[in-house]
Structure 1
């Protein structure tokens, strides 16, 4: 029996709004999982399913991507990279049961095997994460491998670590013996601060890719050929039909906003539904921060609230990227 998760104690890392992030944290990403595609048709199959350009994805890079239904609504957002003899797709565990059968639907006509793996997915985060990876993994690529582990760069302070339950204890002990061992809430905070989109089961098939800023994080190719939902995605870009975007909002809160929660917005003296929470983080000093899909024409000083705490007003923060950049 593999007991890596009980040999190391991963706990919520309490942060207030004035605290610094830990210099190095090992994070148990138990709510993330990985799907693999192996076989000679895997590249072409994914090219016809995902929003990213799989054909141009080199072995040293990873990319965001979306998987849509025929109407262009997102089933999931994933990180795609070369893995072993095929591809790895890291996405939320909550969408696996509904999204994976859809990804497999036409695979019977292609030479590709699609499998939800039992891989252990960990995160390494903090100012020292890059130096730690550089010390233990050869090369300077954004995707690196050794005999037991694959590491994938997320941003300047984060890496995904993908290994097996058999080797997880050794990887954790070797890479980061002095790190903070944290649960997935800390990874959520990083995702919110960097405005990285995700889809959970409760938000599945609710948004087109541009409504969660997938184009702003290079998760959509507008030059590749057809893929499922492509017509809607292209129309949103070239005809301006998309009226929503994902923003960072912050405010007072006594509990953590959850994916799918509704945020109200002020309209004169009234309030109406303004948006949907994608991910939230609760600080220790009764403040919270969240990613929320909102109308993309709201004023920067718009006010928001949750219906169950109407006295606590929320506001938008600046995004770390330009939604209008080409």
Structure 2
């Protein structure tokens, strides 16, 4: 059997227990690979996070912006093979690659999309599996022909070669699930997922990057730094990303922009769009959305294409303070 066809949807509700150990192929995710003598200095001058201080056993969130501070991509950065990997949704890569390579001609750096396969290890026993299959103890660990990166206590990213992925999947004895299950964790952890439909729309603080250690305010200059600093010190940012939840009347369409509306008196006004979503088996769904950061906690929402639905904001699992 082709290893790519071994994954099945997980039909559960929010109240159901998750599998002890699950594996997924993150088919809609990839990474930019950056190698060469100038990789560290070049990347340091392009992104919001501090590349210079990133240890080999650590990962960090970061963003790459245009000159006005609008985000081209949000990524997880870590050491991988002989360079860096910037892990992010695949749909953002075409534009992001062109943007981040703009000034690379002046540096000794090679920037490409990786050929590696992204897998997600999830569940209460994910940490145990990683510990049994690696020798180091950090949050980023070398694997045979790849790298393992800790996302949370119940989640690890594996970025490995095609042959290593095939062997791992064929030998795996846990539950093999489709990648929507990984998206559920991203939403519950409130981790930004910027796909092509949200590129060049938000500043980093509207995606909560300051609360996820994805912005270094003490490093040197980088593209878009003036806007990012002004948002912090002058309080110009008026938006934030929130987990939201509600009901659905029909399954949400894949690959389409899903508009969200909020109640304003007896009327409804456009509020934004779903950045990522997960549908449970009982017509309950969760999602991420960038919304005004001064909304009342009990503000009511609905899906524009399903006006009978009702959604609400959920508490963030972290503080938005960047101190």
Task: Place the TM-score, normalised by the shorter chain, in its bin.
Answer: over 0.9
Residue aligned with 1:51, SS: coil
Which residue pairs with 1:13 in the alignment?
A: 10
Deviation at 1:144, TM superposition (A): 0.8
Return the alpha-carbon distance in structure 1 between the equivalents of residues 145 and 69 of structure 2: 37
2:151 to 137, 143, 154: 154
Which among 68, 93, 97 is matched to residue 94 of structure 2? 97
The yes-or-no answer on 1:134 pairing with 2:126 is no
Matched residue of 1:288: which SS?
strand
Judge conservation of contact 1:80–1:89 (CA < 8 Å) in 2: yes
Q: 1:319 aligns with which of 296, 316, 321?
A: 316
Offset of residue 256 of structure 1: 2.8
Q: 1:232 aligns with which of 227, 233, 245?
A: 227
Per the alignment, in what secondary structure is the counterpart of residue 87 of structure 1? strand
Distance 1:257 1:319 in 2: 26
Q: Distance in 1 between matches of 2:162 and 2:67?
A: 37
TM-score, normalised to structure 2, is 0.96
Per mean C-alpha deviation after superposition, the further-off stretch among 302-311 and 186-195 is 302-311
- Between the aligned partners of 2:228 and 2:322, the Cα distance in structure 1 is 17
- Taking the aligned partners of 1:73 and 1:146, their CA distance within structure 2 comes to 35
1:261 aligned residue: 258
Aligned to 2:268: 271
- 1:146 deviation in Å? 3.2
Counterpart for residue 291 of structure 2: 294
1:72 aligns with 2:55: no
Of 181, 186, 191, the match for 1:186? 181
Q: 1:241 & 1:125 partners in 2: Cα distance?
A: 38
Superposed CA deviations along residues 171-209 of structure 1, whole A, max 9, x for unmatched, are 2244xx221111110010000000001210011111111
How far the C-alpha of 1:325 sits from its partner, in A, is 4.7
Q: 1:312, 1:172 → 2: CA distance? A: 39
1:219 aligned onto 2:214: yes
For residues 226-250 of structure 1, the C-alpha deviation after alignment (integer angstroms, 9 at most, x for no partner) is 1111111111111111110011111
Distance (Å, rounded) in 1 between the aligned partners of 2:45 and 2:309: 45
Deviation of 1:75 (Å) = 0.6
Of 255-264 and 89-98, deviating more is 255-264
* RMSD, matched Cα: 1.5
Which residues of 2 match residues 37-116 of structure 1 at below 5 A?
37-116=34-113
Rate the CA distance shift 1:83–1:65 in 2: closer, same or farther, 3 A.
Answer: same
Contact in 2 for aligned 1:247/1:317 (Cα 8 Å): yes
Determine if contact 2:25/2:118 at 8 Å carries over to the other structure.
yes
Aligned residue pairs total 321
TM-score after normalising by structure 1: 0.95
2:142 counterpart residue number: 145
The question of 1:34 aligning with 2:38 is answered no
d(CA) in 1 for partners of 2:310, 2:48 = 36
Cross-structure match for 1:241:
236
- Residues in 2 aligned to 1:17 and 1:141: alpha-carbon distance in whole angstroms: 31
Structure 2 gap ranges (5+): none
Structure 1 stretches of 5 or more lacking a match?
none
